[in-house]
Amino acid sequence: MIAVDGPAGSGKSSVCRQVADRLGLRYLDTGAMYRAMTWAMLDAGVDVDDPRAVIGAIDAVSIISGTDPLAPTIHVGDIDVAGPIRGDEVTGAVSAVSAVPAVRERLVEIQRREVSDATAAGAGIVVEGRDITTVVLPDADLKVFVTADAAERARRRAAQDEQLGKDTVDVEQTRTALLERDAKDSGRETSPLSVAPDAVVVDTTRMTLDEVVNHVVALVDELPDRT
């Protein structure tokens, strides 16, 4: 199993999907799961800034993640939320929901179950998020921390937002928002974003997507059980 962490806009989703596809592995986007939980809270009218209200609504939410790297899916119940979870409302609220310990406990349980299912099926899996190497899969075969400088991450995120059809995106505003998200993710008490001591740090600032994918695949090829 391959565990990948990194801040928003670092390119980890694109990297993980291509690595999983190249190696014939499953893929799990845990960030989409937190966004789906956030979408469910907003849809139900829950005050996301009230942890007790969020905790009271968790049990009513069923999150289902598809693990095909070429076509990952995310549903809340039978509702496809792949589009809605990328909207500004969810983006603005996801840090608050993600910081609730009970939310993290619930989703980590689901994430580990997906890994167990992949293992039982004889398939490997690439899992990406912000606490995968440190909390969810501390015994992963390979741990990678994907990062890039804030300016490059902002440029990438702005380009992604434009592809999603959003209004003209201000790169500097995007950069400010990413830095605020970094501070929230790194500063929360439960499962903060951090670099695991045994993780390989990959700075993608000056690398193409293909170069990063090739680098991570090479790291996998160097694992003892693949030699």
pTM of the model: 0.89
Of 19-33, 101-115, 144-158, which range is least confident?
144-158
- Calculate mean pLDDT across residues 132-150: 95
- Calculate mean pLDDT across residues 57-83: 97
SS3 at position 113: helix
Residue 144 above 60 pLDDT? yes
Pairing mode, strands 79-80 and 125-129:
unpaired
pLDDT at 227: 41
pLDDT at 32: 96
Residue ranges per structural domain of the chain: 2-210
**What percentage of the chain carries pLDDT values higher than 90?**
72
122 with 22: CB under 8 angstroms? no
pLDDT digits (tens, 9 = 90+) for 32-56: 999 999 999 999 999 999 999 999 9
In terms of Cα–Cα distance, which of 199, 82, 74, 220 is closest to 147?
Answer: 199
Of 6-10, 83-87, 131-135, 181-185, which range is least confident?
181-185
To the nearest 10°, report the CA torsion of 85, 86, 90, 94: 90
Residue 113 above 70 pLDDT? yes
SS3 at position 27: strand
Q: What value does the mean pLDDT of the chain take?
A: 91
CATH numeric code, 2-210: 3.40.50.300
- Calculate mean pLDDT across residues 100-128: 96
Cα 163 to Cα 108: distance, rounded to the nearest angstrom: 30
Higher pLDDT, residue 194 or 76: 76
**Other CB atoms within 10 Å distance of the CB of residue 166:** 13
Cα 168 to Cα 163: distance, rounded to the nearest angstrom: 11
- Calculate mean pLDDT across residues 132-155: 93
- Calculate mean pLDDT across residues 117-141: 95
Residue 76 above 80 pLDDT? yes
Cα 84 to Cα 30: distance, rounded to the nearest angstrom: 16
- Calculate mean pLDDT across residues 206-215: 95
